Amino acid sequence: MNRYLLILLLAAAFVLHIPAPAASAQSPAGEIIRLVNELRAARGLPPFSPDGALMAAAQSHAEWMAANMSYTHTGAGGSTPQQRATAAGYRGYVAENIVGGTNLSPGQGVVWWENSAIHYATMTSTRHIHVGAGFASAGGQNMYVLLVGVPSDYAPAPGSPPVRQAPAPPVVVPVTRAAPREDGSIVHVVQIGQTAWDIAAVYGVDLATLLRLNNLPDDPILLPGDEILVQPAEGATPLPPGPLTHKVQPGQSAWAIAARYRITLDELLYLNGLGPNPVLQPGDTLIIRLAPGQTPPPTWTPTTPPTTYTVRSGDTLWSIAARHGLSLDDLLALNGLSMDSVILPGEELRIRPEAPPAPSPTPAPTDTPTPASGIAVAAGPTATPSSTVTLPPSPAPATATPRPTLALPTPTPVMVAPGGRPGNTLIGVAVISLGLLLLGGMAAVELVERRRRREGNR
């Protein structure tokens, strides 16, 4: 029996101490590049070479999408992928993939691109040779950006496959202070790779002041050749408190624009005389803030806020929740849905709980007028008293008998050995319990056998 017990104890110890697999230290953006290059290798294509400027542009756009809770190729300041890459210092032509979803992993993102013809073409491009990737997360949504590029001066021989080049460092032209103009103003002409923060630091001005002077959002994309006003002319009108207007870019919604300028959606709708769920067209100009002395326009007359929303083509549960200021969990709870529910155009979803019925108004008590001195009050009709009804005495309330308290046993904590896992602990406990039962049965059998032998010897 000792031999069996030793074997069972060794097996349990082995189960309890199986090491957990080591976690990968690869960043999500780096994992995207690795998976894309693996896909290219499986198709006989050379891998993309990481490029610093493309990495910076992709990461910046991923963070912008997360901050604005929006999946779009149109980024900060209405920029395009090409403009963002150029502003980051990449001299060439680019193509961009984006994807995102709740707890979406890099592998799931690449699989999604692989099943879309236009995104698959980006990953398997034979024209581009450089790559950059970005990752950001907000509200449980993981967002990925893949940016591939080819230098403008790259010219492979006709019919030859692309040749890998060493990663090109970002091109940045140092900021040089411009001389004041005749009217005292200072205007800086943006060079490749320069940012608003760089310009503000070199000229020694506050970044917020520089952005207000040029009616720029908090995260502007500056392109080579843009003129930035650093110092206004002498006697110029004082600065407004911030950008006054915004020109709508493709793919932008009212709630995304409001979030960018840190105002509420109701404020944006009020300033522009818009109703709920407005349809914005690219090129529309929206008022963000009123200038001093400016009169607000005639506004839409608010009514009772809608409690439902009709699903339109392209809507997702996440976008509907964000549009109406709800968390995804709140929207799911209001409609009895789960994370994997499918919604169809024309379906109505509840976006606010039903309002409780208004309480019935309580009639105000009528006061009996007290006659003033010297004023005769006509006596009203005298009410005839009704017959007196004797009610039986109310029974004394019964004393509630306390229920017996059920004492629950205190659960025994499960101990996890250092380096072990809870799942392995349960398996080990089960193995030991089974072993003890087997040993008990074997001991009982051996005891019966010994008793039988002793009786036979008699």
CA distances from 337 to 193, 232, 348 (A): 47, 55, 13
Over range 382-391, report the average pLDDT.
45
Report the alpha-carbon distance of residue 241 to residue 211 in Å, rounded.
Answer: 11
pLDDT digit string, tens, across residues 5-31: 444 444 444 444 434 333 334 789 999
Using an 8 Å Cβ cutoff, are 31 and 106 in contact? yes
Scan for tokens 């032509």, then name that residue.
Answer: 93
Report the alpha-carbon distance of residue 285 to residue 283 in Å, rounded.
Answer: 6
What pLDDT shows up at residue 146? 96
What pLDDT shows up at residue 160? 56
Over range 33-62, report the average pLDDT.
93
pLDDT digit string, tens, across residues 92-127: 889 999 998 888 899 999 998 988 888 898 999 988
302-306, 352-356, 410-414, range with the lowest pLDDT:
410-414
Over range 37-50, report the average pLDDT.
94
Over range 321-325, report the average pLDDT.
72
Would the pLDDT of 404 be above 60? no
pLDDT digit string, tens, across residues 64-92: 888 888 778 888 777 888 988 888 889 88
Tokens of 378: 């006509």
What pLDDT shows up at residue 421? 44
DSSP E strand stretches across 319-447: 348-350
What pLDDT shows up at residue 304? 59
